[in-house]
Amino acid sequence: MKIIITGRKVNLRDSFKERVHRKLEKFSRFFDDEAQAQVVVNVENERETVEVTISSSGMIYRAEETAYDMFDALEKVCDVLMRKINENKSRLEYRMKAGAFDNIQPENHERPEEDKEKFKIVRNKRFEMKPMSVEEAILQMKLLGHMFYVFFNMDTESINVVYQRKDGNYGLIETVME
């Protein structure tokens, strides 16, 4: 697994980088050699956030944790990632290495000028959409820790959105072209 470590507003010590490599090496049994892990450390107001994103075989596994110490945040984020993978291991087994889970425990209208400033876009993301089933989209949403997920439904051949409802169930929004 290729590991990329980035520090924002912080210089990372070699000891932290070594710890990242040691901790993420434990995940290599789940992923092939083409997998890529991105670790981003951000410091704000004396709190340190560690975000780990692992991309492998078209799936994205992500977790983020904040603590007063980056080493503690790293420990927490690795625990969260492992928990997400273990919770979904029966659905993930065919996407990961064989035997990876052996020995694991458990339209546009003009608006007044003042309204335009209220809806300022502060972040823009782009990602590839591969066709997937509704169940796969729910799994991907859970792995990312998001409340919704936009995907290309391979059954209806349209863009859909799955989301988690307040009652814990899931909803599906299907698009229809006119």
pLDDT of 103 over the 50 cut: yes
Q: Is residue 37 part of a domain?
A: yes
Q: 78 and 145: one domain?
A: no
According to the model, what pLDDT value does residue 110 have? 45
What is the sign, positive or negative, of the torsion defined by CA atoms of 70, 75, 78, 79? negative
According to the model, what pLDDT value does residue 93 have? 65
Segment 129-147, tens digit of pLDDT: 889 999 999 998 888 888 9
Q: 13 and 82: one domain?
A: yes
pLDDT of 117 over the 60 cut: no
Q: Is residue 97 part of a domain?
A: no
Is 61 in contact with 85 (CB distance < 8 Å)? yes
78's enclosing H/E stretch is: helix 70-87
According to the model, what pLDDT value does residue 108 have? 43
pLDDT of 68 over the 80 cut: yes
Q: 8 and 72: one domain?
A: yes
According to the model, what pLDDT value does residue 33 have? 83
Q: 8 and 81: one domain?
A: yes
The total of structural domains in the chain comes to 2
According to the model, what pLDDT value does residue 116 have? 44
Is the model more confident about 133 or about 116? 133
For 20, the domain range is 2-87
Is 40 in contact with 32 (CB distance < 8 Å)? no
Lookup result for tokens 């009652």? 167
Taking residue 37's Cβ as centre, other Cβ atoms within 10 Å add up to: 23
- Give the CATH number of the domain where residue 56 resides: 3.30.160.100
Q: 137 and 76: one domain?
A: no
State the chain's mean pLDDT as an integer.
Answer: 83
Least confident of 72-81, 95-104, 133-142, 161-170: 95-104
List the helix and strand counts (H, then E) for the chain: 5, 8
Is the model more confident about 21 or about 28? 21
Q: Torsion-angle region of residue 103: left (phi > 0), alpha (psi -120 to 50) or beta?
A: left
Q: Is residue 13 part of a domain?
A: yes
Q: Is residue 74 part of a domain?
A: yes
